[in-house]
Amino acid sequence: MEFPPMVRIRQIFPDPRVDDIEGTVRSQIARSRLRERLAPGARIAVAAGSRGINNIGRIVGAVIAELRTMGFEPFVVPAMGSHGGATPDGQREILASYGIAPETTGAPVVSSLDVVKIGELPNGTPVVWSRDALAADGVVIVNRVKPHTDFRGTWESGLVKMMVIGLGKQRGAENIHQHGVRGLRDLIPQAARVILGQGKVALGVAVVENAYDETARVEVLPPGAIAAREPALFAQARAWMPRLPVDAIDVLVVDEMGKTFSGTGMDVNVIGRWRHREVPDPPSPRVRRIVALRLADASEGNAQGVGLADVVTRRLAEAIDFGATYLNAIVSTYLERVFLPLVAPSDRAAIAVAVRTLGLHDPAAVRIVRIPNTLHLERLWVSPAVAAEVQDVEGVTLGRTVPWRFTPAGDLEVWGPAAWEEDEGAAADAGPDAPGRSTVADHER
């Protein structure tokens, strides 16, 4: 099967950013009046652990540096529920991959999954919290605020959730997740109130990113302001999220999926597909077939979200660590998201299966969008039918038309962001008068 040539496009999104990350973090902590609440020499646990946060190592390092300047003794506690195989060493290794380790921050990492029951919710659900966090004199929680991939609510992914799920360790995560969407939406804020009532949370460091995966805002919040301020930060994060260029797509080709890009491998807020028994899919975007080609190495075999795809490659299927993937699914209770899709032998075969099963009368008119992953959507490829729709859209720039480039084995020669950049470089080398100029008239010819 021959596929239509693809048009390189660039999307321009709002671009707010924090220029001096360390300076911003340290100055806000310095103004937080923490010295008035904690005595010199106090041991402070810095809780971090969410994947995919740009500059997280720098942010946590700045938190630790300022706490030490203020006369405190900081240490790091992993706050990541059951991630890292639900083992202390696995969670320590994940932090190290973010640049959060004694060698980089100067602070020890205290990693265990031990928890203590600190209360009970009205429905009888126990509230548990990290024993290491409770042993500290204060806890600073560091996390990005963004739309969640499992539920819709006032508080989704951010400081409130990390307080309950991350520092609740595997047991706390299971206690909440066993109640499904209601547990995440309704029980997390209830549990957060119990945790805040312990008086251990000293500060929250909220991070908001722009559509380019860059740090756009950092706010240091006292414990009493965390729950009140987070919904406004969440609304800002949603407004700054990257988006697909069109609503109607026949085939979405995702070069790479994985936990490093989203907790669900492919961000459900981007692809418009939740595959969740309790959460209906949004009205847009409407994607008929999703093809996932590779599992990111940084995901370490965790293929949570692979069930969001319709077709995957054998390469991706063979990279799955089913133990880590299934543990993540069992804790979350969303088994549908790890169901294995149809497995094709190569990239070309996977895309061909998706196109062939659409029942289109004219395969040349297929609406294909190819993206490097669901986190980076500023540079992508679209088929001529999509290019014609977006050519006059503000914030979208059309580039040159490029062919699909497969190896003899049927796999893409270059993939991910590097593929777009290589196409761009080849076009520049060809000169301004070279064939391939992207206009609707060219596509129609």
Segment 322-336, tens digit of pLDDT? 998 998 888 777 899
| Pick from 47-61, 114-128, 179-193, 376-390: least confident | 179-193
Helix extents (H) in 31-87: 56-69
Q: Are residues 252 and 232 in the same domain?
A: no
Q: Are residues 248 and 230 in the same domain?
A: no
pLDDT at 93 over 50: yes
Q: Are residues 236 and 286 in the same domain?
A: no
Q: Are residues 214 and 346 in the same domain?
A: no
Q: What's the confidence (pLDDT) of residue 210?
A: 92
Number of domains in the chain: 2
Tokens describing residue 340: 């294995």
pLDDT at 443 over 50: no
Indicate the residue among 199, 221, 240 that finishes a domain: 240
**Whole-Å CA distances, 275 to 267, 303, 313, 344:** 12, 15, 20, 21
Q: Are residues 217 and 342 in the same domain?
A: no
Q: How far apart are CA 73 and CA 95, in angstroms?
A: 19
Q: Are residues 180 and 143 in the same domain?
A: yes
Domain hosting residue 215, numbered range: 32-240
Residues β-bridged to residue 184: none
What CATH number should be reported for the domain holding residue 138? 3.40.50.11440
Q: Are residues 303 and 418 in the same domain?
A: yes
| Pick from 44-48, 79-83, 222-226: least confident | 79-83
- Looking up tokens 């804790």 gives 331
Task: Record the pTM.
Answer: 0.78
CB atoms within 10 A of CB 190: 17
Q: Are residues 308 and 203 in the same domain?
A: no
Q: How far apart are CA 91 and CA 79, in angstroms?
A: 9
Residues β-bridged to residue 139: 45, 201
Q: What's the confidence (pLDDT) of residue 278?
A: 72
Q: Are residues 74 and 189 in the same domain?
A: yes
Indicate the residue among 218, 240, 262 that finishes a domain: 240
Confidence band, pLDDT 50/70/90 cuts, at residue 121: very high
pLDDT digits (tens, 9 = 90+) for 166-192: 999 989 888 887 877 777 788 889 999
CA neighbor of 201 nearest in space, from 231, 226, 232, 219: 226
Indicate the residue among 211, 240, 269 that finishes a domain: 240
Give one DSSP letter per residue of 94-156, joined into a string. Answer: HHHHTT-SHHHHSS-B-----EEEEEE-TTSPEEEEEHHHHHSSEEEEEEE-B--SS--SSS-
Q: Are residues 253 and 369 in the same domain?
A: yes
> What is the mean pLDDT of the segment spanning 81-105?
88
Q: Are residues 127 and 158 in the same domain?
A: yes
pLDDT digits (tens, 9 = 90+) for 293-312: 999 998 889 999 999 999 99
Residue 126 in 3-state DSSP? strand
Q: Is residue 21 part of a domain?
A: no
